[in-house]
């Protein structure tokens, strides 16, 4: 399947085919240098075909996990590109999950002011979320994604076979983003969520198409695109609070984040689908609120007047409201209290 997606300054093809990685070098110009950025958990078989068929191809292997999305690694990859005399006509490839994709995209957007980037997401989360919409980033000063750019790859390759070897929690990590798309864009995704693991491929493709529709209208998040932050403002704070992804994965944090801002009439449905996705328990009490507030005030969507929240009403419509500090504290306290009843 081939779909044309809307990039930030360009459109680019998504090619989705089982087994495609075993012959993916055919999509590359064999006269250009290639640096593949990946992590230790990614089987080298995913990019072996590139190494076998492109003379000047190199691999940069990161330790796995959110901690790798650091400036330190950003600079190490930049150094490698300088050392290998990469020009702006050469190619950088991300092969892995969201961490690899966000970090590599940020490197690609800033090395010599922008070089070609081919994105190969291999986790459900990076297929659904990081691969579409051109957001690149690193974490800094314990704030997630606080530094980054808008920059699109020139090609996106999906091989659903890469999901076979993943533990279930990695799949659900991505499926919470798909669940979000179900509530705000495409209710047919919710129906597929009754049996998420058997409907995996369909859920992922539908989610990508839904997200792309939003990004096409508002690439730089000035209006409509803000609805994609449904569940994310408190979600990111929960994720940061629970130590950058070690206790709570991004998708799971969004799974909880949505509870604070969804209409009461849809809360049972949200919990129902969340349990299908095995949302883990978290320990949270009133004492955690000051820490959450600190993270929320540093959210990219915050302004001096307040912080924007995306609410979903009983008819699945989104409303964006700006809340001041007191209102946010009340919103969080009310929901947290209800969990302890």
169 lies in the site for a second copy, by CB under 8 A:
no
Backbone angles phi, psi at 53, to 5 degrees: -110, -10
Q: Which is nearer to a second copy, 26 or 85 (CB)?
A: 85
224 lies in the site for a second copy, by CB under 8 A:
no
Tell me which of 48, 53, 70, 149 binds a second copy, using CB under 8 A.
149
Spatial contact of 171 and 163, defined as CB atoms under 8 Å apart: yes
72 lies in the site for a second copy, by CB under 8 A:
no
Tell me which of 187, 220, 272, 321 binds a second copy, using CB under 8 A.
220
Scan residues 126-145 and list those touching a second copy (CB under 8 A): 135, 137, 140-141, 143
Tell me which of 4, 11, 75, 213 binds a second copy, using CB under 8 A.
75
- Cα–Cα distance between 228 and 171 in angstroms, integer? 20
Return the exposure string of 166-202: e unless at least 16 CB atoms fall within 10 Å of the residue's CB, then b: beeebbbbbbbbbbbbbbbbbeebbebbeebeebbbe
Spatial contact of 74 and 106, defined as CB atoms under 8 Å apart: yes
Spatial contact of 108 and 188, defined as CB atoms under 8 Å apart: no
- Cα–Cα distance between 23 and 98 in angstroms, integer? 23
82 lies in the site for a second copy, by CB under 8 A:
yes
CA distance between the termini of the chain: 49
87 lies in the site for a second copy, by CB under 8 A:
yes
285 lies in the site for a second copy, by CB under 8 A:
no
85 lies in the site for a second copy, by CB under 8 A:
yes
Tell me which of 11, 22, 23, 31 binds a second copy, using CB under 8 A.
31
- Tell me how crowded residue 59 is: count the other CB atoms within 10 A of its CB: 17
Query: Minimum Å distance from CB 246 to a second copy?
Result: 22
88 lies in the site for a second copy, by CB under 8 A:
yes
Total binding residues toward a second copy, as defined by CB under 8 A: 39
Query: Minimum Å distance from CB 35 to a second copy?
Result: 14
Return the exposure string of 210-243: e unless at least 16 CB atoms fall within 10 Å of the residue's CB, then b: bbbebbeeebebeeebbbbbbbbbbbbbbbbbbe
341 lies in the site for a second copy, by CB under 8 A:
no
Q: Which is nearer to a second copy, 30 or 334 (CB)?
A: 30
Tell me which of 26, 52, 287, 304 binds a second copy, using CB under 8 A.
304
Query: Minimum Å distance from CB 79 to a second copy?
Result: 6
**What secondary structure letter does DSSP report for 288?**
G
Identify the CA nearest to 94 among candidates 147, 166, 156, 142: 156
Tell me which of 302, 311, 316, 327 binds a second copy, using CB under 8 A.
302
Tell me which of 52, 303, 315, 341 binds a second copy, using CB under 8 A.
303
Query: Minimum Å distance from CB 162 to a second copy?
Result: 28
Cβ contacts of residue 44 below 8 Å, gap of 6+?
Answer: 59
Q: Which residues bind a second copy (CB under 8 A)?
A: 9, 31-33, 71, 75, 78-79, 82-83, 85, 87-90, 106, 109-114, 135, 137, 140-141, 143, 146-150, 220, 297-298, 300, 302-304
């Amino acid at each position: 399947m081939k779909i044309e997606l809307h990039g930030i300054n360009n459109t680019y093809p998504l090619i989705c085919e089982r087994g495609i990685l075993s012959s993916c070098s055919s999509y590359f110009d064999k006269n250009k240098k290639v640096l593949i950025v990946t992590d230790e958990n990614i089987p080298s078989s995913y990019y072996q075909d590139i190494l076998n068929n492109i003379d000047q191809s190199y691999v940069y292997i990161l330790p796995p996990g959110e901690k790798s999305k650091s400036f330190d690694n950003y600079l190490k990859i930049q150094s490698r590109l300088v050392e290998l005399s990469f020009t702006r006509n050469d190619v950088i490839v991300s092969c892995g999950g969201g961490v690899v994709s966000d970090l590599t995209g940020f490197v690609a957007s800033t090395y010599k002011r922008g070089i070609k980037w081919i994105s190969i997401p291999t986790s459900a989360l990076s297929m659904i979320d990081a691969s579409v919409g051109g957001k690149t980033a690193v974490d800094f000063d314990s704030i997630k994604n606080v530094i980054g750019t808008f920059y699109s790859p020139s090609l996106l390759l999906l091989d659903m076979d890469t999901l076979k070897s993943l533990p279930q929690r990695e799949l659900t990590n991505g499926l919470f983003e798909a669940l979000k798309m179900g509530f705000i864009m495409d209710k047919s995704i919710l129906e597929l969520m009754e049996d998420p693991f058997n409907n995996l491929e369909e859920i992922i493709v539908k989610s990508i198409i839904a997200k792309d529709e939003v990004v096409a209208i508002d690439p730089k998040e000035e209006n409509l695109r803000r609805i994609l932050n449904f569940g994310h403002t408190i979600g990111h704070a929960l994720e940061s609070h629970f130590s950058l992804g070690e206790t709570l994965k991004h998708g799971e944090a969004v799974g909880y984040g949505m509870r604070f801002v969804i209409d009461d009439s849809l809360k049972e449905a949200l919990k129902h689908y969340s349990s299908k996705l095995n949302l883990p328990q978290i320990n949270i009490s009133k004492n955690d609120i000051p820490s959450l507030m600190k993270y929320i005030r540093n959210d990219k969507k915050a302004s001096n007047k307040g912080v924007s929240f995306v609410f979903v009403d009983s008819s699945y419509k989104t409303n964006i409201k700006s809340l001041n500090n007191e209102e946010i504290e009340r919103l969080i306290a009310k929901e947290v209290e209800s969990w302890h009843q």
